[in-house]
Structure 1
Amino acid sequence: MVFSEWPLGADLAQAEELADLAHRRDVLTAVGLQARSAPPLRYLRDLVADGYVGRVLSTSMLGSGGIGGATYDGNYAYVLDVTSGATLLSIPFGHSVDALTMVLGEFREVSALIENLRPEVVHVTSGAVAAKTAEDQIAVTGVLESGVVAAMHFRGGTSRATAFHWEINGTDGDVVVKADQAQWWYGGLRLYGAQGEEGALVELPVPARYQRSLVQWAERSAEPACNVAHEYALLRDQITGNLAPDTDGVPDFRHAVRRHGMLEKIREAARTGRKVALAEQGS
């Protein structure tokens, strides 16, 4: 059995090679797209499916990437190189778009802008200037398979205003997901919602059943290991055959290949300036 952190490879070709090898060896695989295991997002998916917002019309996501800012740390110098595969697109955007598709479904088509507006960055302590080829601005718009209009904007570094904000707007209500940290997929998510003619958004507590067997994490949701812990719990239940019939397991290498393929399509859309179809990307 093999568990890999996300992204699975530096590019789609590496991911395909690993997934093919795992298939030929009949190896159980898992990939660390842990936002899918977060109790707030599993609850959010059920809220949307049960009609909390009515028919979903649009969704908007704004995030800060953490990486891709004006400075860099020596431990993370590799993220300056776009060919490393560890970029704003693959990591912050990749985790985020995977969460969006888990809740609302896959994209049918996308348009994109990907820019490197800071080709030179400064070391946080030495002041040394280094070249950066990786992107620091990503703007993606598109239409989901359900017809929902979607917009995502991720900025490199941090923002004094917004670390992470995600809205889902429907005919009968609205839901908002917020986090105070750029690496929101670690944990610390908060849900807010309002229906019909209700006024201000109110916080939506996550029911205890979404904690599964990890009740000890209920008060530790902001810790970096929180959602990884929930992913491991799902993986354990998957391995032992204890997943409930209506509960999906953790994403595997095949899923990672589909998500890598999606990111390649987004790069293609940015490179060509055209809408690109995302046929059969799956979930």
Structure 2
Amino acid sequence: MKRGKGMKFVTDSRVTANRTPNIPKDYSEYPGKTEAFWPNYLLKEWMVGSVFLIGFMVLAMSHPAPLERIADPTDSGYIPLPDWYFLFLYQLLKYEFAAGAYTVMGAVVIPGVAFGALLLVPWLDGGKERRPYKRPIASGLMLFAIVAIIFLTWEAVDDHDWEAAAEQGQIVDDIEIDESAAGYEIYQSQDSCISCHGGDMLGGAAGPSMFESDYDKDEVMDIIINGLNDMPADQFEGTDEELEILAAFIANDGQDPDNGDNGEDEDDNNDANENNE
């Protein structure tokens, strides 16, 4: 019997006889329009990202974030300012069509439409052209958005009162205020004082710290009654006795003057007793 006699060979049509080698696509077919994702495109993206990252790191190290004093919720004169990348939205809320009764338009509707359109760009514009001048609608909208952001940011910086902001945010030396003193309680009952000088008496946007000048009690009383510079007169709501207590408290740098006098009297008595002995 011959070898292989009576045997049949069955082939599978799904298996190709000639397999093509696994080689990358020829991107030279459309020069300037297509390129390999790895490593060409990914390398370019990494290089651009590295440049921006290094730039932000240099900017952060050369201009560190400024620190301000502890926030005072009772300071109604404080002028808030968001970070620089939100200044264009901050400025948008100053316009009539996006403020007041239309705050929702400036805070929700307009930014929502803008950022929503940015997310939908891949579906709204499916063109294969990569040259900006051949995509006038997409390029025009993007240029309009960039110009609007730059303009609003510039307007926010130009309109802001930077001198007042620097004064209201200055870090002052820690002052231990005697909150149990009668003068402090009287001050807390004066809304006109708190609105300008803050609940901690260390100053706000409209008024300076009450302890930055070396006034005596009579001078403090005169300022409270007659005013000084931008400070209006006759703002104190209380009796003459309360005015005198408050003035003495301010002149004594936030300490109860009675406690200080008592302490000095005790020291004098102790010295006298030592001398008698």
Normalised to the residue count of structure 1, the TM-score between the two structures is 0.18
Give 1 or 2: higher helix fraction.
2
> Larger relative CO (CA 8 A, sep 6+): 1 or 2?
1
Give the structure with higher Rg (CA).
Answer: 2
**TM-score, normalising length: structure 2:** 0.18
Higher strand share: 1
